[in-house]
Amino acid sequence: MHVRRFPALLLVVGLLAFLPAFTNIRLTSLQPVDVALLLLLGFCSAKYLYAGFSFRISADLSGLFKSYVLLLLLLFSLSMLASRLTFYPLEDASFLKRPVIYSLSKLLQFASVVCGFLWATNVFLQQKKILLRALGVYWVTGVFSALYAILCYLALSVSHSLFSSNSFLAGILGAYFFDGVLRARGFFNEGGPFGIYLVSVFVVGFLRRKMTRRSLGFANVAILSLAFVLAASKAGFFAAALLALYAVMSAASFRKKIAYLVFSIAILWGIASWLNFGAQLSGYIYGFQNIDEQVAARGVDMNLVAGRIAALYIVPKMIAAHPITGIGFGNYPLMRNDPHYLGVLPSIRYVEDVPGIGIPGIAAEMGIPATLWLMLLMFIPYWAVRKRASILAIAAIYQPLAHTFAVQLTFFYPWFVSACAFAASVYEPELVRQKAAKSLYYMILRPDFALYRFTPVSDSREAECSTATRLSR
């Protein structure tokens, strides 16, 4: 059974590790990883029905699984409740972007992401070898994306006119011009998300080094670092700064803390100064504080009337109007043009706008209670590993940090990193796990912990092992 299943599991996990890097390559409105996740959701649903409404899942995930199922049911109820609101549909919208249908399609996409996270974590808990392969694929794919971005950056800096004349080629290039500034983006649509993705590649690289003792390689680190700088990602910069600060605070000795702190400040301060992040942040603040004056002067400038600056003006009004139920999952593009929310901003109905401001944007759609529930679930992997190796905690905290810095919930790569961190913690030394078993995580989400023998997991552990529990209707 195991011999036949292993290649199939390895293929699916490899796709989940490889495809998240290619967000700018789309099939209609879906990314390649979305297609893979939807197929995986369909497979898991069919298997659940075929097995008589039951399946086996690791005991480490049983509580998390039930909590996410309840959250999805709540979000579905809130989306149905939001159908009573007035919508402002997009011009020439397809069937899937119509009111109510759009929210349900986004909710299905989110359910497939959650399914992928739980499925991957469950496989990693059973098969250490597959976890190591997944870390390797993610790391190599990240380095390749960074190298592609650097090469495109150099090509555009030499011959901009040659590439700009071909719209298709310009769309797939790993670099682009934004307000006259050349930035790297890899296979992402912008440099900002690409920078956050590169931070995840670094995190996975260090996690892989922890588990395999393999060096990251000077050339690989240099490629990733250069691509990160060329992406000029403010969100990526702040995410890296916070993770570096956490690493400093986790250092074993005071001398190491001081050394790491000085090194981190020197590197990050130099990058911030070279990229002039201070002036860019001042521009955001000035645009928000003087929105009336800016709209009158700049008109329908998409950098002003859509995206983050507009969301800073619109989202608080949405939350104030619907603090408990929200406007419905995914409904921001269909609700943002409500005159009550727009104020002085013009209506933008020909662009599928997203808030891009992280947790407040999520709270506007889901409501405050559901958002707090979601954030609690995202921090569960961190809570479970926080007393173990610092790289496990850094990897586990990456996901909530990424979504705080505006990575969309339906982007899979933060969930993949969290799955790797959660599963990798099982392979820590036995003594460390025995101490962690007394933590709040096991008392709340693992009330059945005492019923299972928590033994080291072998490379070939099957779902029917001692740490599996049956979930049935």
DSSP 236-276: HHHHHHHHHHHHHHT-SSHHHHHHHHHHHHHHHHHHHHHTT
The pLDDT value given to residue 238:
85
Any idea of the CA torsion for 200, 203, 204, 209, to the nearest 10 degrees? 160
Q: Does some domain include residue 226?
A: yes
Distance CA(377)–CA(370), nearest Å, equals 11
CA-CA distances (angstroms) from residue 100 to 28, 331, 368, 465?
20, 8, 21, 43
The residues pairing with 54 across neighbouring beta strands, listed in sequence order, are 472
Nearest CA-CA partner of 195 in 423, 401, 422:
401
Contact (Cβ atoms closer than 8 angstroms) between residue 345 and residue 98: no
HEC assignment per residue over 449-471: HHHCCCCCCCCCCCCCCCCEEEE
How do the pLDDT tens digits run along the chain, 473 residues long? Answer: 454 577 888 999 999 999 999 988 877 778 899 999 999 999 999 988 887 777 778 888 888 999 999 999 999 999 999 988 888 888 777 777 888 899 999 999 999 999 999 999 999 998 899 999 999 999 999 999 999 999 999 988 887 665 555 556 666 788 888 777 889 999 998 888 999 999 999 999 999 999 998 889 999 999 999 999 999 888 888 888 888 888 877 766 667 667 766 766 776 666 666 666 666 666 666 665 666 666 666 666 666 677 787 888 889 999 999 999 999 999 998 888 888 888 777 788 777 888 888 899 999 999 999 999 999 999 999 988 887 888 899 999 999 999 998 899 999 999 999 999 999 988 866 434 444 444 444 434 444 433 333 333 444 444 333 334 334 33
Distance CA(151)–CA(166), nearest Å, equals 18
Distance CA(192)–CA(197), nearest Å, equals 9
Cα diameter, the chain: 68
3-state SS assignment for residue 10:
helix
**Cα atoms in the 13 Å half-sphere on the side-chain side of 77:** 10
List, in order, residues 6 or more apart from 135 with CB less than 8 Å away: 17, 204, 207, 208, 211, 212, 420
Distance CA(223)–CA(383), nearest Å, equals 33
**Domain count within the chain:** 1
Q: Does some domain include residue 434?
A: no
Q: Does some domain include residue 195?
A: yes
Distance CA(295)–CA(323), nearest Å, equals 28
Q: Burial of 471 by CB count in 10 Å (0-12 exposed, 13-18 middle, 19+ buried)?
A: middle
Q: Does some domain include residue 77?
A: no
Q: Does some domain include residue 24?
A: yes
Cα angle value 174/225/405 (rounded, 5°): 75
Contact (Cβ atoms closer than 8 angstroms) between residue 441 and residue 380: yes
Query: Which single residue is written with the structure tokens 């597959």?
Result: 130
Helix (H) or strand (E) holding 57: strand 54-58
Contact (Cβ atoms closer than 8 angstroms) between residue 187 and residue 33: no
Two structure tokens written together for 435:
């101490």
Structural domain including 249 reads 2-56+100-271+384-425
Distance CA(153)–CA(174), nearest Å, equals 7
Q: Does some domain include residue 407?
A: yes
Two structure tokens written together for 470:
């049956």
The pLDDT value given to residue 371:
95
Residue-wise pLDDT for 271-328, tens only, equals 666 666 666 666 666 665 666 666 666 666 666 677 787 888 889 999 999 999 999 9
Q: Does some domain include residue 324?
A: no
The CB density around residue 188, as the number of other CB atoms within 10 Å, is: 24
30: Cα separation from own chain's centroid: 16
CA-CA distances (angstroms) from residue 369 to 75, 148, 366, 373?
11, 42, 8, 6
CA-CA distances (angstroms) from residue 359 to 325, 398, 402?
15, 14, 10
Helix (H) or strand (E) holding 289: helix 277-289
Concatenating the DSSP letter of every residue in 331-399 gives -HHHHTT-HHHHTTSPP--SS-----SSHHHHHHHH-HHHHHHHHHHHHHHHHHHTTS-HHHHHHHHHH
The pLDDT value given to residue 262:
73
The pLDDT value given to residue 459:
40
Contact (Cβ atoms closer than 8 angstroms) between residue 174 and residue 148: yes
The pLDDT value given to residue 461:
42
Q: Does some domain include residue 433?
A: no
Two structure tokens written together for 434:
């025995």
Residue-wise pLDDT for 147-202, tens only, equals 999 999 998 888 766 555 555 666 678 888 877 788 999 999 888 899 999 999 99
The residues pairing with 57 across neighbouring beta strands, listed in sequence order, are 469
Cα angle value 221/213/463 (rounded, 5°): 110
